[in-house]
């Protein structure tokens, strides 16, 4: 009973937070701060020489983010190969 009451209170608080947060968002397509967007749209082609501004953001302005993405891929591949090989080896020894 006590757990259910606690769960209900947590649920009400969470729903209230989410509803208030959704109600306070900006209308779609009208962000609050546009200084960064305008700068990238106006200067990306001249600064990076790339016609694809998305590629310019991915590999130049936010290159560190792409490096993290590549690291995630590397870790995933390493983990899969390590896991499969280790499980095979354990089967053989047992």
Alpha-carbon distance of 54 to 48, in angstroms, equals 11
58 binds another protein (CB under 8 A): yes
CB 58 within 8 A of CB 66: yes
Residue with tokens 């891929």: 73
Alpha-carbon distance of 40 to 59, in angstroms, equals 13
40 binds another protein (CB under 8 A): no
Candidates 21, 27, 29, 49; binder of another protein (CB under 8 A) is 49
- The residue (of 37 and 69) whose beta carbon lies closer to another protein is 69
Structure tokens at 2: 């006590």
Structure tokens at 62: 């936010």
67 binds another protein (CB under 8 A): yes
Residues that bind another protein (CB under 8 A): 42, 45-52, 54-56, 58-60, 63-64, 66-67, 69-71, 73-74, 76-77, 80-81, 84-85, 87-88
């Amino acid at each position: 009973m006590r757990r259910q009451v606690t769960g209900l209170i947590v649920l009400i608080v969470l729903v209230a937070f989410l509803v208030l947060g959704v109600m306070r968002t900006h209308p779609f397509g009208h962000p609050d701060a546009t200084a960064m967007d305008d700068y990238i749209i106006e200067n990306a082609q001249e600064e990076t020489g790339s016609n694809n501004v998305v590629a310019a953001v991915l590999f130049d302005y936010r290159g560190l983010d792409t490096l993290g993405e590549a690291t995630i891929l590397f870790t995933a591949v390493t983990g899969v190969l390590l896991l499969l090989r280790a499980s095979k080896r354990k089967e053989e020894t047992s």
